[in-house]
Structure 1
């Protein structure tokens, strides 16, 4: 459903914590819609990235910080001396494991918060964030960007209309992309569970979320899951690669689909300096800097000689309280890069889509219609979902209406708990009761809070 957005008298002001790919993706809304929001403060440890970001968004030097702690301290001083916060809202785009401490700190200061997905990397931290958000009474958005693209909103309208009857089954696939998986989940920041989280959470929590959103108010009651690390390990290394541990030293490099030279250097040579090249260096990437990163950094390592441990393929099966079912597949080995394919089966029709367009077939009338998203989808990532999320969040902040986001902190937590339950099923080899899983998590959390309070 489209939301009517009125232009505010003054733009909503934003502080961006983490000026990497996701921070930039969200901050871009201030350039597209400068009358609606403005970036006024940032925190970013990388020197050149910080300077480039501040220059691009016109951030005053007095509100440019190296760490989120420095921004938080300056905010506390401003609140104490003037009674005002430096910004209306904070966008949290730091590494996943840092979300809990940053959200808790700024929620306590009364900031409305948009947090990149996943909310946190452990059940305990997710519950901590829920408690912090409820305690502060703030507007809270989560980077489940799939909900906010023109494509998904159009699908949601059809689902909610009821014209196809009851939703009985959904089949959904997340084709990560062979080299994208190598970039992010073998060589990159999300390659090791102990340093980030499992790949179903870091990559696909918003896939589980959007389908749960379509089934709502129906709720998941049972989940099972299977998967593992199938190929990106020592045993998968081609014999022709020999003892090479880095792509630039490998005789097999030109035949390897995961060659770092192909993924990064060949792109730079063609003038492409955006993702996936930009994360390799601090500042604007060029041939010299990217080559140095491949010689010395993790992105130049052989994918078969890396220390990654997260799943490269996984299936999840969910049953809902109504008896409806949902099957999900996340797989690395695809040509498509994150262009999900979805089939929704209703008692009187079906929807078949691929994030670019979808067809609706009504069994009763026999009519099939093709739907395409708005042209605005081309203006940002995730089919327009990035800017769609920020635009909705900004309007929610301006109007003080959490409902505009179509979700709240408790629903966000429930969809995360469903993902945690699926991963528990995969590891334990058992079907998990979703309701009992949540109840057990909350009991454990309540017990730890009580123990912590008693020891103080």
Structure 2
């Protein structure tokens, strides 16, 4: 007999909660059904209400209110801001919910450990959304390593290249611009990478050493005569990469991305729009300016052109990137890691890339793997040291979020909730804890300027 769809409540109806995880239910209604939502912003809450046909008494303004009710569903999706992850997830498990928790688990070591303990204590599933493990590209990389083709891993060099516009959007103007109000960059953004390194190397970490700084963004680099808001007559608007209307009104970085990585028709379309901006006044080019997906979707409740203008006039999204005084997130960081199995790894993150993506080199006792994981190319190259032969695996380019990992993690977790098949979950709280401790250790090392022994944190 066919099982009913898993029922879910959504706690936090932002970009990830509503547009990714809850949206899965609309595309796969046989697998999941959203039955209630908690979101403090009324417009976002109402959007989920309409999309999922919810009754008014199943729409709540806070996680406290929804979890004060009797258990409403099988599963709780917790996608609140970083500093609000632990409390609702812990209470949800105690109320009997299995929990899908957006990364990072929490922004303190103690909260991360408590999440693991409560999951064990209650017997409830706790899936951490380290979605890249589920992306076909990284699944294929894992398979190559485990096949033994490059022998035993000796060293990994790994880079996270955050695009300049993504960094400025999320980590200067956006919700993660202040580490004291959210999380340090290494945890908020790069816990994905710590998780992948731990997963690929298959060993706990022994010690970590890290350096990093905020070197470019601040009043000291604000152009002469530049106002604190881009729309207030900036004298360098034509030459500034970070001029807010360039991204939020004209979509130039997004158009460049499609010019580089899109289909032939997308490349032609993008080239014409970049060369002749006035084309966006006529169909079919007009639809370019009508785009309201990420990152546009997060700057305002009103995503009309007028609404976006107002957002640039009133919120951080319209501020000069050099004039946001409480911005204290690093714009580059390196991490050196020694694992218990004596493998070493180096990780670099920076926020100045022309294109978003990751690149890496994995050296083993018999061969080398080189990889590029970008929007424009997703390639794995395998080099046999004995023969000198190089095989390039052209993995299928997937334009979906996180390389298709978002959908796979939902499918796997829902199956686990239905059938209690825990072995399919790659990122339970227990095995996600190590990568979070790695990120915390890197932050401590950078701030305190010392090597951190991992036994200090365990």
Q: Same fold (TM over 0.5)?
A: yes
My pick for the range that moved more, 285-294 or 54-63, is 54-63
**Which residue among 45, 49, 55 is the counterpart of 1:54?**
49
User: 1:91 and 1:287 mapped to 2: Cα distance?
Assistant: 32
Q: How does 1:133-282 map to 2 (within 5 A)?
A: 133-216=119-202, 218-241=203-226, 244-249=227-232, 250-267=234-251, 270-282=289-301
User: 1:418 and 1:220 mapped to 2: Cα distance?
Assistant: 7
After superposition, the C-alpha distances for 1:129-171 in whole angstroms (9 at most, x for unaligned) are 2222222111111111111101111111112222321011111
Contact 1:264 1:290 in 2 (8 A): yes
Residue 331 of structure 2 corresponds to residue 312 of structure 1: yes
Task: Provide the residue aligned with 1:329 in structure 2.
Answer: 348
Contact 1:225 1:315 in 2 (8 A): yes
RMSD: 1.7
Residue 403 of structure 2 corresponds to residue 383 of structure 1: yes
User: 2:247 and 2:452 mapped to 1: Cα distance?
Assistant: 39
After superposition, the C-alpha distances for 1:279-312 in whole angstroms (9 at most, x for unaligned) are 1112x50111111111111111111110200101
**Which residue among 390, 393, 408 is the counterpart of 2:413?**
393
**Which residue among 368, 374, 381 is the counterpart of 1:359?**
381
Task: Provide the residue aligned with 1:116 in structure 2.
Answer: 102
My pick for the range that moved more, 58-67 or 200-209, is 58-67
Task: Provide the residue aligned with 1:403 in structure 2.
Answer: 423
Contact 1:139 1:401 in 2 (8 A): no
1:374–1:86 Cα change, 3 Å:
farther
Displacement of 1:367: 4.0
User: 2:304 and 2:191 mapped to 1: Cα distance?
Assistant: 33
After superposition, the C-alpha distances for 1:344-388 in whole angstroms (9 at most, x for unaligned) are 11111122222222122233454433334456x33x301111112
After superposition, the C-alpha distances for 1:294-333 in whole angstroms (9 at most, x for unaligned) are 1111111111110200101000010112221111111001
Alignment TM-score, normalising by the size of structure 2:
0.87
Contact 1:92 1:102 in 2 (8 A): yes
My pick for the range that moved more, 259-268 or 20-29, is 259-268
User: 2:243 and 2:48 mapped to 1: Cα distance?
Assistant: 30
Displacement of 1:269: 6.7
How many residue pairs were aligned? 416
Contact 1:107 1:113 in 2 (8 A): yes
Unaligned runs of 5+ in 1: 1-6, 77-84, 440-456
User: 2:4 and 2:247 mapped to 1: Cα distance?
Assistant: 43
Task: Provide the residue aligned with 1:11 in structure 2.
Answer: 5
Contact 1:8 1:398 in 2 (8 A): no
**SS of the counterpart of 2:64?**
helix
User: 2:49 and 2:332 mapped to 1: Cα distance?
Assistant: 39
User: 1:357 and 1:60 mapped to 2: Cα distance?
Assistant: 47
**SS of the counterpart of 2:10?**
strand
User: 1:422 and 1:364 mapped to 2: Cα distance?
Assistant: 36
User: 2:433 and 2:457 mapped to 1: Cα distance?
Assistant: 10
Displacement of 1:115: 0.6
User: Larger helix proportion, structure 1 or 2?
Assistant: 1
1:36–1:374 Cα change, 3 Å:
farther
1:193–1:391 Cα change, 3 Å:
same
Runs of 4+ aligned structure 1 residues displaced above 6 Å come to: none
Residue 79 of structure 2 corresponds to residue 93 of structure 1: yes
User: 1:371 and 1:59 mapped to 2: Cα distance?
Assistant: 46
Contact 1:172 1:340 in 2 (8 A): yes
